[in-house]
Amino acid sequence: MGKVPIGRGWARGLLRSLLLTLGMAAALVAAADQPPIIVGLDADLSAGSAQAGEAIRRGALIAIAEINARGGLLGGRRLELQAKDHRGIPPRSTDNLNEFAATDNLVAVLGGLHSPAIIQNHQLIHDRRLIMLVPWAAATAVVDHQFNPNYVFRISVRDQFAGPYLSSELLGQGYRRIGLLLERTGWGRGNEAAIRAALGSKGLEPAAVQWFNLGDTDLMPEILALEEAGADVLIMVANAPEGAAAVQALAKRPVGRRLPVVAHWGITGGHFPELAGPALSSVDLRVLQTFSFIDAKGKPAREVMRRYKEMFGVDRAEAIFAPVGTAQAYDLVHVLALAISKADSIERSQVRAALEQLKSYAGLIRNYQPPFTPQRHDGLSTEDYRLARYGADGALLPVRNAPQ
């Protein structure tokens, strides 16, 4: 056979292709040599709600590992998590956020369990154009405020809907005398308003409202007052230490007078089963959740479980503590990555705008269509709410999987 002539055009095309390939490779090397893109975490990592902070950290780390394994962002730049501990104290959060705002290549900050740490720093967040991603704090005012444009985005429960959801669940089970046991904070007051409005729409009102302070260790007077007011069930808004005190007080009452409890999820952010001790098995307690690895299905859940086991040495879904923190942080970091890619930048005002313009994301908790809009910075709705119980080993079990 004769030689096939190679035309000059074909050779020029081959040369262009080679140069393009080399250019792309050089660009990837250059991007990989750039400093990492920083995501901050400002949460309680050592005090009463440290489990929530650690759960959020783990969810973020799993998402970051996945993103980096796929080549990173913006042509090869890696994501990196930097964590700071505010111990549930808003002024410590102020210091942390100021440090994050001055950090080179920082694109966003993940918040923790405590709503006040975000609400009391709204001015700082918006003055410094810090994108605040919220994977736990539920107070309505976390995302609804006077600042425009809004730099706060949440994938979590919203108290405006949480109270009505819990009320509806109880009314559907035939309860009519709902007592409220509430933390004396803005979080508690916000839930009181939402529950009163929900009950009022049904022509009802709370049987009684009892308040406790942070750090209270004896809630028997409040329990007795609710009992004497004729409550047939309680809605409790508490974090782990005070929630455990309430359960211990209830367990001391005669069996026929132990009021059942439906709790907001603050109790799940700390070592609640250990704090409550044996009393926990004596009280009918259910708690608000949005996700469980125990009954999660589909490829995203399987992959996250695999990485969780590899990274943190956990061999079963029941051993994953505070699962909502992990799942919600995981989804938020992936949504942030999509926004960075859409903006083709880590400039925070551009990424903030991109977060409002994403079309969809198939996440761990739900299929977000879209995750956020300019008018809606909450990624979840009441369709994502559910109840769980504590099992004998302290695991949070979806109600339909829990022993009755």
Q: State residue 33's pLDDT score.
A: 80
Q: State residue 1's pLDDT score.
A: 43
Least confident piece of the model among 3-7, 278-282, 324-328, 375-379: 3-7
Q: State residue 32's pLDDT score.
A: 59
Q: Does 121 lie in the same domain as 84?
A: yes
Q: Does 285 lie in the same domain as 183?
A: yes
DSSP strands (E only) in 24-78 = 37-43
Q: State residue 30's pLDDT score.
A: 52
Mean pLDDT, residues 324-349 taken together: 98
Q: Does 171 lie in the same domain as 134?
A: no
Q: State residue 26's pLDDT score.
A: 46
Q: Does 304 lie in the same domain as 258?
A: no
Q: Does 302 lie in the same domain as 348?
A: yes
Which residues on neighbouring strands pair with residue 85, listed in sequence order?
Answer: 43
Taking the C-alpha atoms of residue 112 and residue 110, their distance in angstroms, rounded to an integer, is: 7
Tokens at 128, concatenated? 């410094």
Domain final residue pick, 289, 317, 335: 289
Q: Does 311 lie in the same domain as 250?
A: no
Q: Mean pLDDT of all residues in the chain?
A: 92
Q: Does 174 lie in the same domain as 251?
A: yes
Query: What whole-number percentage of the chain has pLDDT above 70?
Result: 91
Is 148 buried (19+), middle (13-18) or exposed (0-12) by CB count in 10 A? exposed
Q: Does 174 lie in the same domain as 146?
A: no
Under the banding of pLDDT at 50, 70 and 90, the label for residue 315 is: confident
Q: Does 258 lie in the same domain as 237?
A: yes
One DSSP character per residue, 268-287 reads GGS-HHHHHGGGGGGS-EEE
284-305 confidence digits (pLDDT tens): 999 999 999 999 988 889 999 9
Decide if 137 contacts 111 (C-beta within 8 A).
Answer: yes
Domain final residue pick, 227, 254, 289: 289
Assigned domain for 149 exists: yes
What is the model's pTM? 0.90
pLDDT at 7 over 60: no
Domain that holds residue 148: 37-157+295-381
| Tally of structural domains, the chain | 2
Q: State residue 61's pLDDT score.
A: 98
11-35 confidence digits (pLDDT tens): 555 545 555 555 544 444 455 589 9
Mean pLDDT, residues 183-196 taken together: 94
131-180 confidence digits (pLDDT tens): 999 999 999 999 999 999 999 999 999 999 999 999 999 999 999 999 99
Decide if 156 contacts 328 (C-beta within 8 A).
Answer: yes
Under the banding of pLDDT at 50, 70 and 90, the label for residue 4 is: very low
Q: Does 276 lie in the same domain as 361?
A: no
Assigned domain for 399 exists: no
Give the closest residue to 168 by CA, choosing from 104, 228, 235, 115: 235
Assigned domain for 10 exists: no
Domain final residue pick, 240, 256, 289: 289
Tokens at 121, concatenated? 């720093």
Assigned domain for 390 exists: no
Q: State residue 36's pLDDT score.
A: 98
Assigned domain for 404 exists: no
Decide if 155 contacts 143 (C-beta within 8 A).
Answer: no
Q: State residue 403's pLDDT score.
A: 45
DSSP strands (E only) in 138-207 = 152-154, 178-183
Under the banding of pLDDT at 50, 70 and 90, the label for residue 3 is: very low
Q: State residue 128's pLDDT score.
A: 98
First to last CA, the chain: 83
How many secondary structure helices (H) and strands (E) does the chain include?
13, 14
48-89 confidence digits (pLDDT tens): 999 999 999 999 999 999 999 999 999 999 999 999 999 999
State which H helix or E strand residue 387 sits in.
Answer: strand 386-390
